[in-house]
Chains A and B, each alone.
Chain A
Amino acid sequence: MEGTRVLSDLRPGEGAVVCGLTGAGEVRRRLQDIGLIQGTAVVCLGTSPLGDPTAYRVRGAVMALRRKDAAGVEVAG
């Protein structure tokens, strides 16, 4: 069993499933609003030229998240 991975650990092209949100209230609600809840499939698409933020495919849309915020999303797979 490997340690917990978070969304920001994903490399471009890699996919995973959300297992939980650990961020504080406001951040968490934002992420829920775009459809990131337990069980949501996410694919990491690519990173900005300067290394942050990173674009993810979430429920058919492409959302860019900063590493700090993506670190509050636990993923598996």
Chain B
Amino acid sequence: MRAERVIALAGNPNVGKSTIFNALTGLRQHTGNWPGKTVANARGSFTHQGRDYQLVDVPGCYSLLAHSAEEEVARDFLCFGGADAVLVVCDATCLERNLNLTLQILEVTNRVVVAVNLMDEARRKGLEVDLPLLSERLGVPVIGTAARGGEGLDQLLDALADVCDRPPRQAPAVDYPAYIEEAVARLEPSLEKLCQGKTLSTRWTALRLLEGEGTILRGVNAHLALDLSRQPEVEAALDKIFRAWAVRGMGRDAAGQAIATAVVRQGETLCRDVVRSRRARPDRLDRRLDRLFTSRWTGFPIMLLMLLGIFWLTIVGANYPSAVLSAWLFALEDGLANAFTALGIPGLVTDVLIHGGYKVMAWVVAVMLPPMAIFFPLFTLLEDFGYLPRVAFNLDRCFQASRACGKQALTMCMGIGCNAAGVTGCRIIDSARERLIAILTNTFMPCNGRYPTMISMIALFLAAGGAVGSFAGALMLVGVILLGVGMTLLVSRLLSATVLRGVPSSFTLELPPYRRPQVGKVIVRSVVDRTLRVLGRAVMTAAPAGVLIWICANVTVGGATVLAHITGFLEPLGRALGMDGVILTAFLLGLPANEIVVPIMVMAYLAQGSLVAMEGSALLAVFSANGWTWTTAVSVILFSLLHWPCATTCLTIRKETGSWRWTALAVAIPTVCGVVVCALFHLLCLALGWA
């Protein structure tokens, strides 16, 4: 049995890497039309000509000189990962820029296959790419692909197998100025000895030593397990080189610039005659759409309308399937309980597992699945189309004023789906400071788990039924999001002035070409990848939470249930915030999954032993009987927006920041905001005689 071959999949952000990955491996990695989608090395495998391959999808990057956390992941794998071959994906509509990374990778290894992807888009824009000429100039196979339609993938696999079997002989990818070439030649002999047995190009290493770029050299040192520039031979050679340069009035900094410039120039030269345009302005439609989506008069109104449309469709569309699902799942509860009894399982076990765990799980599924199954596809369509980077472009000024990064807008969009996903997405932000700001404030974007609570509050107390009501409801929900955006900006600014002091770093945001969304694929993908994954996570946390909640509601201490003790204890605080002890308890017990907040309230009010499924007027009657008014509903909405992140998000924050202290801050910040805002609202209501 021959060993599995490892292929690294590299490329600029947003060139269709993930699509190629999915097409080759059949594994559904989520793709979207905005830079920075792959947040860690995803792996998948495939077989070609009876041989096993493992494909590693490396995060997209513009160069191997890493800036952001995810670019570092990419660089480390490409430079030190020891892959058998690298598949570099380029965007045919913007080949020249893509060649910069391609050339840098060719300096690391000669086992490279270049896929010029998005050939279909290039053709539509009237661009022609001379692939044989490019292949001849680069010295490696170049295959034209249109991965979305499956075009060119077979040739790609053949070329990969070929490169693994017979690595192409290849001249240096980039010609540098003579003085740099001389220096490289001087360093290479000693490096050859030190790099023996390690997968590392001596030419590439020599160039990095000449540049003296800290983070890369640290990576090199870690890979070789020695301090390269402190090796006597290397140190002596470098010393000689730098002294010779100094005599001619040249510094290391200038050399670094010359090296970077030479690579870009080489790409420019290579591209000459390779790309021909049949039209004067191939991107005319894109620019027209940009004017529509980002101009002063239409940019923001369209943004708000899109948000409104998505919420309205979600609210209207989720009602019916939600009712059907809950009826079905709760009917199953009795069936399961009967089956347990018939099997002779003790009543207590049945109570805990079925009326505790299963019931909460069923509730979460019924409440969460329909809105997610509508929201995620709609959102994914926008993403596929390429609209999200325009949101970041429109809003960047606000983030600049908060001394944060405009790409935070993208992570917030992800947060609207799921905060845990949003927190992971923060890896696209280059500066560590700005990334932390984005992580700590992500929970100000209400996630899918919180809409059901907000929507039911709006429907019961604030907006009438019918088409007008659902539209008003969507409008209010947009208002809640805007409040969340405002809080995000405010808190980002405060963090920038206190614990995360600093000024914004440099900012480059690519506005990729618009793409026609593949509606069918988007729906399947977003349901399979996102909806089911988020749902799976919710179910995993909801079932144990259900057991815990059942225990709280059924174990009595001193004549009252544990739940009653907790609600009693929290009552004064709840009152001060315009709510009551039950509501606060529900939010506390809802830590594993925000969806179960409302059912816990109902359970506590009715002093039931398990969650109570209730809709519309019955629900309103229970709340009203416990002294709720519309101000209570507003307070609940506010607190739902502004409170601690759910358990999964907390764990994700811990993972992303590597620190419990930042995690604690991420819990404390929204909680304090919620307490303050709710207390102020309550005082306002008292002053105006509303409450």
Q: How many residues of A contact B (CB 8 A)?
A: 37
Inter-chain contact B287/A27, CB cutoff 8 Å: no
Minimum distance in angstroms from B91 CB to a CB of chain A = 8
- Could you tell me the distance between the alpha carbons of A55 and B406 in the complex, rounded to whole angstroms? 14
| A residues in contact with B97, CB < 8 Å | 34-35, 58-61
Tell me the bound Cα distance from A53 to B97 in angstroms: 21
Q: Quick one: which of B100, B394, B511 contacts A50, CB cutoff 8 A?
A: B394
Interface digits, B60-77 against A, CB 8 Å rule (1 contact, 0 not)?
Answer: 001101010000000000
A19-58 CB contact bits vs B (8 Å, 1 = yes)?
0000101111111111101111000011011111101011
- Considering the complex, give the chain A residue whose CB is closest to the CB of B287: A45
Contact call A62/B260, Cβ cutoff below 8 A: no
Asked if A53 and B264 make an inter-chain contact with CB atoms under 8 angstroms apart, the answer reads no
Q: How far is the CA of A11 from the CA of B498 in the complex (A)?
A: 37
Q: Does B261 contact A (CB under 8 A)?
A: yes
Asked if B396 contacts A55 (CB within 8 A), the reply is no
Instruction: Mark B493-512 against chain A: 1 for CB-CB distance below 8 A, else 0.
Output: 00000000000111111111
B277 nearest in chain A by CB position: A60
The residue that A33 contacts in the complex, of B62, B283, B394, B511, with Cβ under 8 A, is B62
A30 in complex: contacting residue of B67, B261, B393, B512, CB < 8 Å: B67
Minimum CB–CB distance from A39 to chain B (whole Å) comes to: 8
Which residues of chain B (73-94) have a CB below 8 Å from chain A?
93-94
Complex Cα spacing A62 to B260, Å: 21
Stretch at the interface among B163-171, B291-299, B366-374: B291-299
Say if the beta carbon of B43 comes within 8 Å of chain A: no
Q: Does B22 contact A (CB under 8 A)?
A: no
A64 adjacent to chain B (CB < 8 Å) = yes
Least CB separation from B275: chain A residue: A60
Cα separation A55 to B635 with both chains bound (whole Å): 42
> B67 near A59 (CB under 8 angstroms)?
no
Q: By the criterion CB–CB under 8 Å, are A35 and B507 in contact?
A: no
B290 in the interface, Cβ–Cβ < 8 Å?
yes
Q: Within 8 Å CB of A51, what residues of B?
A: 397
B94 cross-chain contacts in A, Cβ below 8 A = 59-61
Asked whether, in the complex, the Cβ of B511 is within 8 Å of the Cβ of A62, the reply is yes
Chain A, Cβ-Cβ closest to B264: A37
A37 & B290 in contact (Cβ 8 Å cutoff): no
Counting CB contacts under 8 A, is B53 at the interface?
no
With a CB–CB cut-off of 8 A, which chain B residues contact A29? 65, 67, 260
Q: A33-B62, A37-B260 are in contact. Are A60 and B393 (CB under 8 A)?
A: no
Closest to A27 in B: B506
Give Cα A57 to B286, complex, Å: 12
In the complex, what residues of B have CB within 8 A of residue A31's CB?
506, 508
Please indicate the chain B residues that have their CB under 8 angstroms from the CB of A55 in the complex: 290, 294, 393, 511
- Tell me if B95 is interfacial: C-beta within 8 Å of chain A: yes
Inter-chain CA distance A61–B97, complex, in Å, is 8
Is A26 within 8 A of B394, CB to CB? no
Q: Which chain A residue shows the least CB distance to B513?
A: A62
A38 touches B65 (CB 8 A): no
- Find the A residue at minimum CB distance from B259: A32
Which chain A positions have C-beta within 8 A of B261? Answer: 32, 37-38
Q: 13 additional contacts, CB 8 Å, given A51-B397, A59-B96, A69-B508? A: A29-B67, A31-B506, A34-B510, A35-B267, A37-B261, A48-B397, A49-B294, A55-B511, A61-B94, A64-B406, A65-B508, A68-B504, A69-B507
Show 19 A/B contacts (Cβ-Cβ < 8 Å), sorted by A.
Answer: A26-B67, A28-B257, A31-B508, A35-B96, A35-B264, A37-B264, A45-B287, A49-B299, A49-B394, A53-B509, A58-B97, A60-B95, A60-B97, A62-B511, A63-B509, A64-B406, A64-B507, A66-B504, A68-B504
Q: Which 4 A-B pairs rank lowest in CB-CB distance, beginning with the nearest?
A: A50-B397, A60-B94, A27-B506, A49-B299
